[in-house]
Amino acid sequence: MKIPRLFKGETAIALLFLAPSVGGFSLFYAIPFVMGFFYSFMDSTIDGSFVGLDNYQVLLASSSFRKAASNTALFTVVSVPLMLGLSLMLALLLNQSVYMRKWLRTAYILPLVVPVASVVFIWQAVFDWNGTINSWMHGLGMNRVDWMKSNWSIVVVAVIYIWKNIGYSMILFLAGIQSIPESYYEIANLEGAGPFTKLRRITLVYLMPTMFFVILMSIINSFKVFRETYLIAGDYPYDSIYMLQHYMNNMFLSLDIQKLTAAASLMVASIIFIVMALYGMERRFRNFME
């Protein structure tokens, strides 16, 4: 019996090493999601019957789901551009010969390796009613603010998101900046181009592939801010920070599987649409540059 080429040599070794990861991903992610997507069209997970889009209609009619979806969209639209701008400015700054540059790079990476529970403990100490900021405000004769139970809560979550992810985006931007040939800047200097012109015509143009990737990862990470928000504010946080993940978590606790799976399917569909749109824009930009 002839063995297929797929199972020979380096290909067989590669498949062998990939098998545990593929098996784990399939068992804990892919298969449960496919089953959940199937259940979103059923009226029950046990001996259920097909109901078409009824679960999605009920979901879209839910005010709590619409609120969670609008909060998630607003958070992503506001926090991602802020994080991109700040991380790009830091990357441009650290690409120069600034004092303690290596130590600053390390400092911005530290939030990535700090456990989420520790991060939450730090920010709770800062924004608690008796926390650091309120103590300073009280000392200055100002009224205390209940940060997590007011409209300021969305600002707190945005600050935590930016603080945790800015180092990763900064490193990606920094790698992209350092990959631009220095000869381009030397030619621009000979032609009398100023710093803003070099930034607009050289740096930003050649950073576009990196920027598309950073935007994609930032959007995905913005959907994962639920962990910090949940640990700080619990199951039912203030209205402005009630995210899609809160809604799905509460549907899981109440065993409303149909709403849970329908909401998860819509969120995944939205992420896939964003990813495809970004890849399409990147492909058009690459073709334009070529």
Predicted confidence (pLDDT) per residue in 256-271, tens digit: 888 888 998 998 898 8
pLDDT digits (tens, 9 = 90+) for 70-101: 999 999 999 999 999 999 988 888 887 666 66
In the predicted structure, residue 166 carries a pLDDT above the cut 60 = yes
User: Residue 202 and residue 107: Cα distance in Å, rounded?
Assistant: 28
What domains are there in the chain, each with its CATH number? 64-289 (1.10.3720.10)
In the predicted structure, residue 117 carries a pLDDT above the cut 80 = no
Going by the DSSP 8-state scheme, the letter that residue 203 receives in this structure is I
DSSP 25-54: HIIIIIHHHHHHHHHTTBS-SSS--B-TTH
The model's pTM is 0.81
Q: What is the mean pLDDT of the chain?
A: 83
pLDDT digits (tens, 9 = 90+) for 272-282: 898 888 888 88
Q: Is the dihedral of CA 132, 135, 140, 144 positive or negative?
A: positive
Report pLDDT for 102: 65
Which among 255, 256, 248, 253 has a CA at the least distance from the CA of 69? 248
Cβ contacts of residue 65 below 8 Å, gap of 6+? 59, 247, 259, 263
Count CB-CB contacts under 10 A for residue 167: 20
